Amino acid sequence: MHVAVFSTKSYDRRFLGAANAAYGHKLSFFDARLSAETSQLATGAGAVCAFVNDEVDRDVLADLASRGIRLVALRSAGVNNVDLEAAEREGIAVARVPAYSPYAVAEHTMALILTLNRKTHRAYNRVREGNFALEGLLGFDLNGKTAGVVGTGKIGEIVAKILTGFGCTVLAHDVRPNPACEAMGVRYVPMEELFPSCDLITLHCPLTPATHHLINAEAVRRMKPGVMLVNTSRGGVVDTRAVIKGLKDGTIGSLGLDVYEEETDLFFEDLSNRFISDDVFARLLTFPNVLMTGHQAFFTREALTNIAEATLANITAFEATGRAVHEVSVERGAGG
Ligand code: NAD
């Protein structure tokens, strides 16, 4: 099948190209993000392959349908950037990669937690400059602390397991409790109980209408003063302005983000020669107790291998049977 692959970087070409040796699809790689301005690049293809910040909205889907596209194969787990109802109306199937390496994201979450706590990013620079002072580097023992995991699916379950290994008491909240978490001693509680009880809160739920701004001003107000908040799920789960206020008044003791509500115009690009016009993001960068990465939690060799394999398997199955292996229905909703 001829596939127009959007938002590609050298690593996408490398991993998809290698996996495609066994599938034989015709892959046309485009640097451009999929949007109403770029969808014409898909002309002549039967499928489009898209990533997290591609805009697969109503207008783009209508345009893709008019060009004969019948499948959008996402290289991601979350589907929050796709208008699923519009896709159904246009007769375009949507496929995703439900699990490529939950370990990649869970382990990056731990990297944020450990770095924020022990400030190794600051210590690295100090030591290189001959500054061996410890002022400002004080951390805390994770052992014995209470951690809250919001969303205990594939990634949240692994995070809960690792935190349990560190000696934390793990509380969780999920609309569907996970028996594997209960078996390891995780206790499910309502959000009202989780917020004031936790020294550390980490978010692993999908972005849906129900989780949009789950962490808002009211949620921050209920949190334990000095809490560490970590988000590696989707930016929209957190109301950034409310969190900035929490950082300023000390309610939030430290913040780790791999995702940001308005990341579309920033992440995955080298903007180091430009200024950042997003004042909210720029404000986040001024806090010494904020650590941000640019949506890299998924970025391991294993994950990229699995993403490439599962994406091409989706396309092959769709071409052969009219159904992808992991097709997303409107009812299923975003991210799940
Ligand atoms: P999953 O579907 O296995 O688990 C998600 C869990 O969230 C489920 O148990 C679900 O019941 C729960 N949930 C749904 N609505 C909820 C709500 N309102 N409150 C609490 N819990 C709720 O998904 P996963 O593979 O664990 O991934 C979780 C999210 O992580 C994805 O949706 C995606 O947005 C994000 N993600 C980020 C990266 C990255 O690189 N930063 C990579 C992969 C996934």
**What does DSSP assign to residue 224?**
P
Q: Kindly give the distance from the C-alpha atom of residue 57 to the centroid of ligand 1, in angstroms, as a whole number.
A: 21
| Candidate of 171, 213, 233, 263 to mutate for ligand 1, largest count of ligand atoms within 8 Å of Cβ | 233
Three-class DSSP category at 199: coil
pLDDT at 14: 97
Query: For residue 336, what pLDDT band results from cuts at 50, 70 and 90?
Result: very low
- Tell whether the model's pLDDT for residue 333 goes beyond 60: no
Rounded percentage of the chain residues whose pLDDT exceeds 70: 98
How is domain 2-100+300-335 classified at the architecture level of CATH?
3-Layer(aba) Sandwich (3.40)
Residues of 269-279 as b/e, b for ≥16 C-beta within 10 angstroms?
A: eeeeeeeeeee
* Per-residue model confidence (pLDDT) at position 334: 40
Which residues, other chains included, contact 293 with Cβ-Cβ below 8 Å and sequence gap of 6+? 108, 112, 257, 258
What was the pLDDT predicted at 172?
Answer: 98
Closest CA to 16 of 91, 100, 94: 100
51-74 residue pLDDT tens: 999 999 999 999 999 999 999 999
Model confidence over 3-23: pLDDT tens digits? 999 999 999 999 999 999 999
| Cβ of 152 below 6 Å from ligand 1 | yes
**Ligand 1 centre from 240 Cα, in Å?**
19
User: b/e for 205-231, b at 16 or more Cβ within 10 A?
Assistant: bbbbeebbbbbeeebbeebbeebbbbb
pLDDT band at 76, cuts 50/70/90? very high
Q: What is the pLDDT of residue 332?
A: 55
Check residue 215 and report its DSSP letter: B
pLDDT at site 307: 97
pLDDT tens sequence across 224-252: 999 999 999 999 999 999 999 999 999 99
25 is catalytic: no
pLDDT, the chain, mean: 96
- pLDDT tens digits, 275-290: 999 999 999 999 999 9
Q: According to the model, what pLDDT value does residue 105 have? A: 97
Residue 144 pLDDT greater than 50, yes or no: yes
Listed in sequence order, the residues at least 6 apart from 31 whose beta carbon sits closer than 8 Å to its beta carbon are 7, 8, 9
Bridge partners of 95, per DSSP, are: 73, 327
Q: Is the pLDDT of residue 187 over 70?
A: yes
Average pLDDT estimate for 301-307: 97
Examine the pLDDT at 129 and tell me if it is beyond 50: yes
Rounded Cα–Cα distance for residues 308 and 14 (Å):
10
Q: Among 234, 261, 309, 326, which one carries the catalytic annotation?
A: 234
User: If we measure between CA atoms, which residue out of 56, 64, 113 comes closest to residue 90?
Assistant: 64
The pLDDT assigned to 335 comes to 39
Collect all residues with Cβ–Cβ distance below 8 Å to 194 and sequence separation of at least 6.
Answer: 148, 150, 171, 172, 173, 201
- Of these residues, 70, 173, 295, 326, which one is catalytic? 295
d(CA 211, CA 219): 12
pLDDT tens sequence across 171-183: 999 999 999 999 9
**What is the 112 CA–ligand 1 centroid distance (Å)?**
18
Tokens of 323: 């159904």
Helix spans in the chain (H): 10-20, 58-66, 84-90, 102-118, 120-128, 154-165, 179-183, 191-197, 217-222, 240-248, 279-284, 301-321
**Angle value at C-alpha 324, between 320 and 326, nearest 5 degrees:** 155
CATH number of 102-292: 3.40.50.720
pTM of the model: 0.92
Contacts of 117 (CB under 8 A, 6+ apart): 139, 140, 142, 228, 254
Q: What is the pLDDT of residue 297?
A: 97
Query: What residues does each domain of the chain span?
Result: 2-100+300-335, 102-292
